[in-house]
Amino acid sequence: MNDLTVAILAAGKGTRMKSATPKLLFEAAGRPLGTWPVATALALRPARVVVVVGHGRDGLQEVLRARFPRAPLVFAGQKEQLGTGHALRCALPFVPRSARRLLVLCGDAPLVTPDPLRRLLAVGRRRPVAMLTSVVGDPAMYGRVLRDERGRVVRIVEHRDATPQLRLVREVNPAVYVFDPAWLRSAIGRLRRGNAQGEFYLTDVVELAAGTSRGVADLRVPFDDLRGVNNRAELAEAEEALLDRIRRTWLVAGVTIRAPHTVRLEADVRLARDVEIGPGAQLLGRTTVAAGASIGAGCILRDVAVGKNAVLLPYVVATESSIGPGARIGPFAHLRPKSSIGREAHVGNFVETKNTVMHPGAKANHLAYVGDGDIGRRTNVGAGTIFCNYDGFGKWRTVLGEDVFVGSDSQLVAPVTVGDGAYVASGSTIVEDVPAGALAVARARQVVKPGYAGKLRAKLAARKARQRK
């Protein structure tokens, strides 16, 4: 829409969030709050999106540029927060003269979708102002929409300026407008600050438009998708609505989600058909799951790539890692960042990996820590094995070749390499490289003293008796 510009009002302090973090940087369904209306605006393909920034402007600009690197975004500064009318006045110098329509959105309204905006643009094409309205059971702090005897919008009264009688009006202003930019440039200079908050109200422009021969166009829509976020309770409500949309989208697309209301799927997660997700799972960030994979109950994955037909048993925690096709993980496994689990590899219960590559068919099935490692094809790491990767100063790698067997309760002190086909006996502490095909045994020789057990018990009992005295 080459004649369309969108202005997003995102300069407010958000004091009701009661936080040092700017409101629009709070996350909703895995994305900063302020990115949601920008994404909606860009879906309309405007010539330009003008974001009015103020409090926390540097952080918001950085976030938006990173998420929408090729979008036609420009930023208008509002040094003093003197109201919504003043915010839009700050945006106008950045609205191209070629623009014939100016859509205005609030930066804290993440639930707005493109469909009602397209309809509003259609109904407002020949009017100086078009606006959305909603009828609600509890108008709360929203401005009230007043109509004349013919049902035409004539005025918006903000809650703080409304009389008790006007506060009974249930039709409210969700603050979504379409303006004729040429008309707006002349009208916005007529705004005054004679109101309860001493601000320039954008809503007063509606009354000015109602006094013209063309009047105000309005489109009544359900309120649920238009509500803004003013505090953390409203943020939680908006986020749950976003998450519900996301879950429904994937269910329709062919994903099985058990107990959907318990599952968190963030906005940038991508799922293939025939994926199954168990109760209480959380898929966060840019996690991707390929066809036929199964994510068990209680799994938490952030920025993880899960391959085709992989199986994650319950309560796997994984971050910034990849899991190959047909791999089997868990239960209760922990994949820390830079873990790469190959095709049909196994990471079993209470196994932790970190910055480790497990090549196809490798296994670490029980109670092991394999950090900073490279584990070759078909190699088996026994229960209780530890890669001793940190010496108090630096991290070092352990390299196991193909078809290696590491017995239970072994310690491999990095840097160390075990060659292809080698065998490490259970209970060994390996501090030197093991050649391919060799057997490494590194443990103290067993000593047996016949009949000594009774003497030892008596000695220990006597010591305990002395302690009691």
Q: Which residues are tagged catalytic?
A: 366
C-alpha gyration radius of the chain: 32
Half-sphere exposure of 407 (CA within 13 A, CB side): 14
The residue with tokens 């239970």 is 408
Task: List residues bridging with 294 in a β-sheet.
Answer: 276, 311
**Alpha-helical regions (H) of 293-346:** none
Do residues 313 and 295 lie in contact, with contact meaning Cβ atoms separated by under 8 Å?
A: no
Distance, CA of 251 to CA of 268 (rounded, Å): 16
Closest residue by Cα to residue 295 from 257, 267, 333: 257
Closest residue by Cα to residue 9 from 23, 30, 28: 23
Q: Count other Cβ atoms within 10 Å, centred on residue 439.
A: 11
Half-sphere exposure of 404 (CA within 13 A, CB side): 31
Q: Count other Cβ atoms within 10 Å, centred on residue 16.
A: 15
**Alpha-helical regions (H) of 371-451:** none
Distance, CA of 331 to CA of 346 (rounded, Å): 11
Helix 57-67, helix 35-43: angle, nearest 10? 40
Residue 248 structure tokens:
């429904």
User: The dihedral of CA 11, 14, 19, 24: what is its sign?
Assistant: negative
Residue 301, phi then psi, degrees to nearest 5 = -120, 125
Longest dimension (CA), the chain: 111
Half-sphere exposure of 2 (CA within 13 A, CB side): 1
Q: What three-state secondary structure class fits 434? A: strand
DSSP state string for 250-294: HHHTT-EESSGGG-EE-TT-EE-TT-EE-TT-EEETT-EE-TT-E
Residue 57 structure tokens:
């402007």
Distance, CA of 431 to CA of 169 (rounded, Å): 79
